[in-house]
Amino acid sequence: MPLKIYINNKFYNKKDAKISVFDHGLLYGDGVFEGIRSYSGLVFKLKEHINRLYNSADGIKLKIFLSKPQLTKAVIKTLQKNKLKNAYIRLVVTRGPGDLGLDPRKCKNSVIFIITDKIKLYPQKFYDKGLHIITAKTEKNLSKALNPRIKSLNYLNNILAKIDAIKAGTEEAIMLTYDGYVAECTGDNIFMIKNHRLITPPCGIGALEGITRDAVIKLAKKKKMKFSEKKFKIGDLYKADECFLTGTAAEIIPVIKIDKRKIGKGIPGVLTQMLIKEFHNLTKKDGVKYAV
């Protein structure tokens, strides 16, 4: 069965799904998006993702022409059209077609499209044995210039850091702020564990307020783990007992080496593995159910 793509209340076969070359989402990265997961007919944290999408849209003064309940139904309907119980969902809202200038007033109608498909961000061996990452040469955009809470279509900063990782022969790279603090990775939030305390950078310095990030923090607190949201530098990360990344597509993935420095014992840590187990349990019960 050909994949069905949702575009503005209609469904199209994958090969026929098109938007205008004058769309400002394409021309200027003027739009917002969410990556969402469904597990066994349950869309994980769908309410939180929809809320973050609207917050991102508000941040760039972009009007979403559907209400939150309508957009939620559109996501469910797209999954059902494609008969997918386990899927990655890409929900995108662009400014819509305009002219070749920057003026967003020229874009009269926004565009919503939804893609539901499979995704495997990292090979299974990295989940089993841990990931090797590097520090990117590319710095994180200044938070005062671009609010990190806005999940926009302009990911060039992250892509350049991803290229740094590829050149180094690794899958991921840590992005630092202009003053040398750890912000996040190219597509994931980052955590470290030191002396049984879970630590992650504050969102205000350049990290996305990740849905999986927030879920992991709540799981850790439920397990009575000490938690701190504070700034730290790469040297602090080298001395961590454990390290892991979080993201919708990545879920939770252990990190065992950073810039040729072994983290902890050089294997996925006990607390990291505990959080992975708890997270997988959470995906079975926290979300919106649907039938295929």
Left if phi > 0, otherwise alpha if psi is -120 to 50, otherwise beta: which for 14? alpha
Contact 125, 263 (CB under 8 A): no
- Nearest Cα residue to 116 out of 171, 46, 210: 46
Q: Which residues are catalytic?
A: 151
How far is 200 from 232, CA to CA, in rounded Å? 8
Q: 127: which residues sit within 8 A by CB, 6+ positions away? A: 253, 254, 276
Q: Residues of 188-216 as b/e, b for ≥16 C-beta within 10 angstroms? A: bbbbbbbeeebbbbebebbbbbbbbbbbb
At residue 281, what is the residue type?
A: N
Helices (H), 142-269: 156-167, 211-222, 234-238
- Nearest Cα residue to 289 out of 41, 35, 51, 47: 41
Beta bridge partners of 23: 97
Token pair, residue 242, equals 């454990």
